[in-house]
Structure 1
Amino acid sequence: MGDPHSGLHSERGALAGEHPGRAANPVVKVHDLAWLEFEKPDLARAEVFARAFGFTPTLSTPHELHLRGTDPGAPCVLVRRGPRSKFRGPAFLAAAPGDVLRLADATGRPVGRLPETLGGVTVDLPDPSGLRVRVVADTEELPALPPQRPQELNFGHDVRRVNATQRPPRAPARVQRLGHVVLQTTRYRAALDWYLDHLGLIVSDFLYYPGQRERGPVMSFLRCDRGATPADHHTLAMVLGPADRYVHSAYQVADLDALAAGGEYLREHGYHHSWGIGRHIEGSQLFDYWRDPDGFLVEHFSDGDLFDHTVAPGWAPLTASGLAQWGPPATADFLGVKPGKESLRELRAVFSALREDNEFDAQRLLGLLKAARS
């Protein structure tokens, strides 16, 4: 049997006439993700998991929870109390305060002030899936916290540690920062172009269904365009699917030992492990995926790729085996096909999507099924 990863590491780019992966004249170019916003019914339970995952709360009231990493900046995650669990949307950090005004003028949306706990201003925009997307500026910057130091490693004959042992503590991995969010949409091409046109994101990699490249991509990994300054391989990833929904979010930790020992801590405390440990292909991150008590998928990652604006998009087929260079096979839980309420909800969404006017049609469904088995 041949190597299932054959060809997935190639640097091959677009064919003639394919999507260029960036807008010629975007309204603004955002600098980074600022935070993600959720609603959850039980904030006390959410905080217990957050501490075990490696966050530090900066605000904890019966109605609101703010979670930060050790890097300076705004909190990574804002959680407000609500009747049911819900992803409210991402907030992106503007590269300059005037960009919020520029976006507001271009879209006819008002500029609003954020709460005093965050400071600054925002313009709130609906993307083509109806998700609220915030672009913020002048937010309060929290000072850095003491970071978790990476382990000193001996690499083959490159010896850096002598007369000392390795004993990484089995304790929560200290989250450094928010890395990216992945969203599924029934209007993938419209959403892709919207983020390129409005926020100036650029594509690092496109994926297409095997045998359907001529119909265009179905997943993209988008990074911030910081010019010659390298940025994360992806800050936002989007995938075509039968429902508009949150897929997962990812948070950087110091190194593999922090990720692995932190995972053992989560396992010992009864939390649900979804998939990992492994190394991705697109982005190259070391990864480990967990479910929080509300069912949201969250990722610890380390050692991701950084690209500047000169790197053109790569193109590769979307396959289950192509999600990792090494590690265990992608689980049914990670792929969203594990029997249960979530898979039933997704199945119902398939039938609804096929009846509606969107990009998820019967041929795309066949491509998805083929990708999941390949």
Structure 2
Amino acid sequence: MSDLRDPHTDLHSDQGALAGEHPGRAADPVVKVHDLAWLEFEKPDLARAERFARDFGFAVALREADELHLRGREPSAPCVVVRRGRRSRFVGTAFRVAERDDVARLAAATGARVARLPESLGGVCVDLRDPGGGLVRVVCDPLQLTALPDQRPLPINAGRHVARINAAQRPPREPAAVQRLGHVVLQRTAFRRTLDWYLKMLGLLVSDFLFFAGQRERGPVMAFIRCDRGATPADHHTLALTLGPSNRYVHSAYQVADLDALAAGGEYLADHGYRRSWGIGRHIQGSQIFDYWRDPDGFLVEHYTDGDLFDASLEPGWAPMSASGLAQWGPPATRDFLGLKPGRDAIAELGALLGALAADNEFDVGRLRGLIKVARS
């Protein structure tokens, strides 16, 4: 009977907090953000960025000499804002609140000022910095783009539930139409301080914590964080934070219609010479079916579908972090996805690691040992 044991039993975040562990929420947050609004990047070659964006499945909302706005099919603000810069870099994250009073409340609590956004985006904002130095732009009333025609999920014959008769299944090999921005993952050297800042300032809730094996008493090293919409379900994570030797962007994720759109869109990307980082598989935390790609500037981006939705009543899960625990099924996590593939980025991260060990932050030798165990798992 032991051979029939589910190998994922110990990997799922189905155990709750122990006494005295992080509650995963702030008692009295300043505001409660409603969702991600967009991500901001700088890139030197906007024509190349646009080609990849269209192949990945974005629509273009604005194209000017020095600015590119990418959107999904749902009615919303752009998903991604790209401005021309001397080098490729991630600039920051924009979150949306429902009321202008929330923007004013954040400004009063932080000493920042309320500003108008450019006409191309609309609305007002307050610009903050998280403890890792990352730009956090909180916006209200941005321009609302009208919905675009979307890829419809294919009718599926599932067991005795028959939805398709006298018709073959032929998903077109075309870009997977991005519906919306789902989440962003950031690495921080001061993980706990950054986590508490987002929970306090933006009213976010932790869905799942991960900890290094054998180091649970030191606290979590990764948090999957959702918006607090009360009884209305929200994505399992809108933001994820992980402890590491540098403060950087890890990846961002964009929802598509279904598995066929994701898989056929991946074939389209491969046909056009782009590099898959990891996939296709299904995650554990969040349950999304995923497929990761590198854009021409080296940024990691994800197509996903079928993710979990939680309301505010659910308490955080806790689980050990491991490379094999990143997916329920699919190929093993690649060295590229884990940041271990030799190259410029890996060398930069190694340099950051040496600097982090000499600095006063949460990434110390014990945490380095835990991270090495994760990579070897």
* Partner residue, 2:16: 13
Q: State the match for 1:22 in structure 2.
A: 25
Q: Quick one: which of 58, 75, 84 aligns to 2:61?
A: 58
Select the residue among 165, 171, 174 that pairs with 1:171.
174
Residue of structure 2 equivalent to 1:186: 189
One-letter amino acid matched to 2:205 = I
Q: Which residue of 1 aligns with 2:247?
A: 244
Question: How many residues in Structure 1 have an aligned counterpart in Structure 2?
Answer: 374
Using the TM superposition, name which of 220-229 and 6-15 deviates more: 6-15
Partners of 1:178 and 1:38 in 2: how far apart? Answer: 14
Tell me which residue corresponds to 2:329: 326
Q: What is residue 37 of structure 1 aligned with on the other side? A: 40
Which residue does 2:82 correspond to in 1? 79
Q: How high is the sequence identity, in percent, across the aligned residues?
A: 72
Moved over 4 A (4+): 1-4
Deviation track 1:309-336 (CA, whole Å, cap 9, x = no partner) reads 0000000000000000000000000000
Query: Is the CA contact (8 Å cut-off) linking 2:13 and 2:285 kept in structure 1?
Result: no
The alignment status of 1:228 with 2:249, answered yes or no, reads no
- Shift of residue 159 of structure 1? 1.0
Q: Which amino acid aligns with 1:311?
A: L
8 Å contact kept, 2:13–2:208: no
Question: 340-349 vs 291-300, which deviates more?
Answer: 340-349
For the aligned residue pairs, the C-alpha RMSD in angstroms reads 0.9
1:274 to 255, 277, 288: 277
Q: Does residue 1:369 correspond to 2:377, yes or no?
A: no
Indicate the residue corresponding to 1:260 in structure 2: 263
Code of the residue aligned with 2:301 in structure 1: it is V
How far the C-alpha of 1:253 sits from its partner, in A, is 0.1
Which whole-Å CA distance do the structure 2 matches of 1:94 and 1:216 have between them? Answer: 30
Residue 4 of structure 1: CA displacement? 4.8
CA deviation string 1:176-211 (max 9, x = no partner): 000000000001000000000000000000000000
Conserved? CA contact 1:4–1:321, under 8 Å: no
- CA gap of 1:4–1:372, structure 2 versus 1, over 3 A, is farther
1:3 CA drift (Å) = 5.9
Shift of residue 56, structure 1, vs aligned partner: 0.5
Deviation sequence 1:188-243 (CA, Å, 0-9, x none): 00000000000000000000000000000000000000000000000000000000
Task: Give the match's secondary structure for 1:261.
Answer: helix
Q: Distance in 2 between matches of 1:343 and 1:364?
A: 18
User: d(CA) in 2 for partners of 1:341 and 1:10?
Assistant: 34
Amino acid at match of 1:219: M
| Paired position in structure 1 for 2:71 | 68
Letter in 1 for 2:365: A
For 1:312, which of 315, 318, 326 is the aligned residue?
315
**Displacement of 1:5 after TM fit?**
2.3
Question: What is the aligned partner in structure 2 of residue 139 from structure 1?
Answer: 142
* Equivalent position of 2:216 in the other structure: 213
Say whether the 8 Å CA contact 1:119–1:140 is kept in structure 2: yes
CA contact (8 A) 1:5 1:321 kept: no
Please give the secondary structure, in 1, of the residue aligned with 2:42: strand
Task: For residue 328 of structure 2, give the secondary structure of its aligned residue in structure 1.
Answer: coil
On the 8 A contact 2:130/2:197 being kept in 1, the answer is yes
- 1:160 is aligned, of 159, 163, 170, to 163
Query: Judging changes above 3 Å, is the alpha-carbon distance between structure 1 residues 51 and 307 closer, same or farther for their aligned structure 2 residues?
Result: same
Once residues 261 and 6 of structure 2 are traced to their aligned partners in structure 1, the CA distance between those partners, rounded to angstroms, is 31
Please tell me whether the aligned partners of residues 35 and 74 of structure 1 are also in contact (alpha carbons under 8 angstroms).
Answer: yes
CA separation of 1:126/1:96 partners in 2, compared to 1, >3 Å: closer, same or farther? same
CA deviations 1:139-180 (Å, max 9, x no partner) are: 110010011100000101111111111111000010000000
Q: Give the Cα separation in 1 of the matches to 2:163 and 2:171.
A: 17
**TM-score (normalised: structure 1):** 0.99
AA matched with 1:33: L
1:10 positional shift: 5.0
Unmatched runs of 5 consecutive residues or more in structure 2? none
C-alpha deviation, 1:105, in angstroms = 0.7
Helix, strand or coil for the counterpart of 1:335? coil
SS in structure 1 at match of 2:281: strand
Query: What amino acid is aligned across from residue 238 of structure 2 in structure 1?
Result: T
Please tell me whether residue 284 in structure 1 is matched to residue 287 in structure 2: yes
| Shift in Å, 1:344 | 0.8
Question: What CA distance in whole angstroms lies between the structure 2 residues aligned with 1:10 and 1:231?
Answer: 18
Q: Secondary structure at the match of 1:225?
A: coil
- Separation of aligned partners in 2, 1:252 and 1:180: 9
Distance 1:139 1:79 in 2: 17
Other structure's SS at 2:260 match: helix
